[in-house]
Amino acid sequence: MQLKKIEDIPQVSTQDNAVMDRARVRSWHAWLALGVLFSLAIGMSVVADRKGYNVLSTTTAPAAIISAVGATSEVGSWGPTFPMRVPLPPAPPGKPATKPFVDAVAIHATLLPETNKVWMAYSTGLVPGPGTLAWVWDADTGAITNASIPYAYDMMCGGHTLTSDGYLWVAGGRNNAQKTATYDADENEWIPGPNMVVARYYPTALTLGDGSTLVAYGSGSITIEQYDSKLNTIKTLPKTVNRVNIMSYPRLHLLPDGNVFHAGAEKATKVLNTQSWTWSPLGGTLTANADNGVSVQLPGDGWKFLSLGGAYSQTRAQVIDLRTDTTWRTISPMATGRANFNAVTLPDGNILVLGGTNAAATKNIEMFYPATEKFAVMAPANPNRAYHSTATLLPSGQVLYAGNQAPFQSTGAIYSPPYLFKGTRPVISIDPASRDVVYGGNLSVQNDDLSVTRMTLVRMGPNSHGTNNEQRHIELEFATSGSQLAVAMPTNPNLAPPGFYMMFGLNAAGVPSTAVQIKLQAAE
């Protein structure tokens, strides 16, 4: 990626908080090379088998993949499950031998910008040393690279997001960690960040329109802090933001006016004014406690939201349009009650709902259609995944579904939505040098097959514990001249916060292209 280098970021002390040493910390480079050789020597593979993944790459003909999975255009199809086995370095001389890999549960996940790779993380105690087990899975090859935090930091159950420059930033974690860290995927390196003033377990990280990140609440905390990735500083917000009885991983969403909507999990929803840093009631109350449920910002102008499921495996489904509704409106329920599940915004704007627990763990998945506010049952997952599972949209338009804590599922699987079985895919491309685009600018997109009727942006969404507060879907206007599309970028950074997006072209049948990835930023 053409990103601002870490060493270019000023090292500034924070309010009540000195910045930690920013010396780069290598993640396993030399040890990993030895680990691979060691693994091969004893005849065990440390790289996941590519065969059978059924991942659409940019060079693979979709027809061949579709034939392999044999799906329908109504319910989509699943590829086979595959292991998440992270390679480990060999034991140091004189120490007991270690196995060459560890089976890992994908509790945290995010697509890495300008790649077809997904970063995932699990826990401490599984790798040599005190750090957190993390890895990068390559959707093109199936290869898994160890990307563990190699120093004392357990970020399991922390918050994470992608900064406006495309770095992965993590905050808090188990044992009420005050730590933060930045991951440079190009170098496979972790850089310790400034400590938060307050330790946070189950916090939410949310990017604002100015590119800064709120890290909010979490178990044992009633406060919010604000991280500036350009300066690498954290400050505590005024006490007017403090709230008691905020549940873990608050469902926070950035509104088009720059304020922040709190869509649960508490029944009473509210808005945070980011100028005065004060809370006000907004949206009335949900019909039930939404703990372990999900909230999704629906496609459109950024004011409409969906709230689903929650405690006691509800079938509950409610929507609110904050421009017109004074309270949440109940709609037709899901077919299956769910708690501890995932929801993924797809390129066509529909919402894929996966897994979760009920009286008996469900394998059923559903598609929510915002246009009709109805659900339809899709091809069932096998196995079911619930607590500590993740679901990540890939540039292929498919979804990587991975993890699960009980029972322990150190596997992943690829879901191909119905739109991939409705005919030939559009093909779009851009000049790589034009990937950095400014608000209100135009981007030239090539569409050689002349089939594109819609252009959409989907923000890359770090997800964990059923939350994916960063994901958002934006329709783009464009003008056509032959095979050239002049695509207009959003003008409002509160509707499309700065950072990396997948851009899809869709044809009249609703079939999406493989995404091109762009970086949206303010003009300098």
- How confident is the model over 187-202, as pLDDT tens digits? 999 999 999 999 999 9
The phi and psi torsions of 522 (rounded to 5 degrees) equal: -75, 150
- The kind and range of the H/E element at 503 are strand 499-506
Question: β-pairing, 213-216 with 204-207?
Answer: antiparallel
What is the DSSP-derived secondary structure letter of residue 467?
A: B
Predicted pLDDT of residue 5: 42
Cα separation of 460 and 185, whole Å? 15
| CA distance readout (Å), 356 to 307, 336, 339, 399, 405 | 15, 9, 5, 16, 12
Q: What confidence tier does 159 reach under pLDDT thresholds 50, 70, 90?
A: very high
The amino acid sitting at 451 is S
Predicted pLDDT of residue 56: 55
Which whole number is the average pLDDT over 471-499? 98
Predicted pLDDT of residue 124: 82
What sign does the CA torsion over 404, 407, 412, 417 have?
A: negative
Per CATH, the number for 25-420 is 2.130.10.80
Stronger pLDDT, 46 or 3, i.e. the higher one: 3
Residue 443 in contact with residue 482, Cβ under 8 Å?
A: no
Q: What confidence tier does 66 reach under pLDDT thresholds 50, 70, 90?
A: very low
Which whole number is the average pLDDT over 477-493? 98
The phi and psi torsions of 65 (rounded to 5 degrees) equal: -65, -45
Residue 188 in contact with residue 6, Cβ under 8 Å?
A: no
In this predicted structure, the answer to whether residue 141 has a pLDDT above a threshold of 60 is yes
Fold of 423-521: Immunoglobulin-like (2.60.40)
Residue 414 in contact with residue 57, Cβ under 8 Å?
A: no
Which whole number is the average pLDDT over 141-146? 94
Predicted pLDDT of residue 63: 35
Report CA dihedral (405, 407, 412, 414) to the nearest 10 degrees: -110
Token code pair at residue 308: 């689903």
What sign does the CA torsion over 462, 467, 295, 205 have?
A: negative
Predicted pLDDT of residue 54: 58
Predicted pLDDT of residue 83: 93
In this predicted structure, the answer to whether residue 382 has a pLDDT above a threshold of 60 is yes
In this predicted structure, the answer to whether residue 12 has a pLDDT above a threshold of 60 is no
pLDDT in tens, 217-231: 998 789 999 999 999
Predicted pLDDT of residue 360: 57
Predicted pLDDT of residue 342: 96
CA Rg, the chain, in Å? 22
Give yes or no on whether 25-420 and 423-521 have one common fold. no
Cα separation of 342 and 463, whole Å? 9
Reference 321, options 263, 259, 252; nearest CA is: 263
What stretches of 309-462 adopt beta strand conformation (E)? 317-321, 329-330, 342-345, 351-354, 365-369, 374-377, 389-393, 399-403, 411-416, 436-438, 442-446, 454-459
pLDDT in tens, 288-322: 888 899 999 999 999 999 999 998 789 999 999 99
Which of 5-9, 205-209, 240-244, 262-266 shows the lowest mean pLDDT across its residues? 5-9
Reference 317, options 333, 335, 295, 337; nearest CA is: 333
How many other CB atoms are found less than 10 A from the CB of residue 475? 13
Q: What confidence tier does 232 reach under pLDDT thresholds 50, 70, 90?
A: very high
Cα separation of 143 and 434, whole Å? 29
How would DSSP label each residue in 368-400? EETTTTEEEE-PPPSS---TTEEEEE-TTS-EE
- Across the strands, what pairs with 321? 304
- The kind and range of the H/E element at 83 are strand 82-83
pLDDT in tens, 410-469: 999 999 999 999 999 999 999 999 999 999 999 999 999 999 999 999 999 899 999 999
Q: What residues contact 40, with CB distance under 8 A and at least 6 apart?
A: none
| Residues making up the chain, counted from first to last | 524
In this predicted structure, the answer to whether residue 392 has a pLDDT above a threshold of 90 is yes
Cα separation of 372 and 386, whole Å? 27
Give the CA count within 13 Å in the CB-facing half-sphere of 133: 22
- Across the strands, what pairs with 43? none
pLDDT in tens, 355-376: 998 755 578 899 999 999 999 9
Predicted pLDDT of residue 14: 36
Cα separation of 364 and 362, whole Å? 5
Q: What residues contact 127, with CB distance under 8 A and at least 6 apart?
A: 86, 88, 102, 133, 146, 148
Predicted pLDDT of residue 272: 97
Percent of the chain with pLDDT over 90: 71
Which whole number is the average pLDDT over 94-99? 79
Cα separation of 346 and 362, whole Å? 22
The phi and psi torsions of 235 (rounded to 5 degrees) equal: -130, 155
Cα separation of 331 and 373, whole Å? 7
Predicted pLDDT of residue 176: 59
Domain boundaries, the chain: 25-420, 423-521
In this predicted structure, the answer to whether residue 96 has a pLDDT above a threshold of 50 is yes
In this predicted structure, the answer to whether residue 245 has a pLDDT above a threshold of 90 is no
The single residue listed with the structure tokens 């329109």 is: 209
Q: What confidence tier does 169 reach under pLDDT thresholds 50, 70, 90?
A: very high
Percentage helix, strand, coil, to 5, in the chain? 5, 35, 60
Token code pair at residue 406: 């009980």
Question: β-pairing, 342-345 with 329-330?
Answer: unpaired
Residue 172 in contact with residue 184, Cβ under 8 Å?
A: no
pLDDT in tens, 107-128: 999 999 999 999 999 988 777 7
In this predicted structure, the answer to whether residue 30 has a pLDDT above a threshold of 80 is no
pTM over 0.85: yes
Residue 352 in contact with residue 344, Cβ under 8 Å?
A: yes
Return left, alpha or beta for 112; rule: phi > 0 is left, psi -120 to 50 is alpha, else beta: beta
In this predicted structure, the answer to whether residue 513 has a pLDDT above a threshold of 70 is yes
Which whole number is the average pLDDT over 164-169? 96
Predicted pLDDT of residue 246: 85
